[in-house]
Structure 1
Amino acid sequence: MNDNEQQTIVTGWKNENGQSTYYQDGKPLNGRQYVNLPTIPNTNVQWNTNWYLMDNGIAQSGVQQWADTYYYFDPRAYLRVDNDYRGFGICSVTMAALLLKFTNGLARITTLIRILICE
């Protein structure tokens, strides 16, 4: 790099091809991680920072596997949804699936996922 060139270091959110991507020092975050970051702009979310599940810099939404279980992340705010039912258009509950964790030969229910079929 010569003296006439300027290096632009980008840290923050960018919307790329409809995906919210977080850059730190000019590069997207590396790997899959659940991390506290500045709130994604234009999502009508409170607080200055929030926890996001990121995969190589891209905020994840929908049902995602993390830390030996599954979570649902809102497709507009990209935040984890807890203790809430969400509608997905015209859908019907078709089956409940139990995720089991085995400890000392005993099965323990860790998560209940309702599987929806949308038409």
Structure 2
Amino acid sequence: MPKPELTVWYNTRCPVCDAGIGRQKRRLIEAVKAGRIAFRDINPEPQALAGYGASLEDVRRRLHATDADGRLLVGADVAIAVWATTPGEGWLAALFGNPAIRPLTRLAYDRFADLLYAWNRRKGRW
């Protein structure tokens, strides 16, 4: 099987993250089956992104992904890459990934991710 074009690392212990990735997996079923995109739970592989300087807590806080060239994507950039791959969601990637809008997309994603991370910690979802 070829190396995935995008490998998304996420936290299955976060119900919001797990549901969102579950939705994307269903929308991308053919790409997942073909091995073009992979979704991986960081919890059983906490050191998976250590070579990039990303810790388990970093991935629990924000989505991380690696592309086919081995580059690390973080946060909103992961969401944009997934939207660009998802049938019917390319417009989201074009809108929120637009160079003029992307800084605001990153800011909004980061604030939401911070709130979600704090909520998960309060609920004991490590």
TM-score (norm 2): 0.23
Higher CA-based Rg: 1
Q: Give the structure, 1 or 2, with the largest relative contact order (CA under 8 Å, sep 6 or more).
A: 2
Q: Which has the higher helix share?
A: 2
Q: Which has the higher strand share?
A: 1
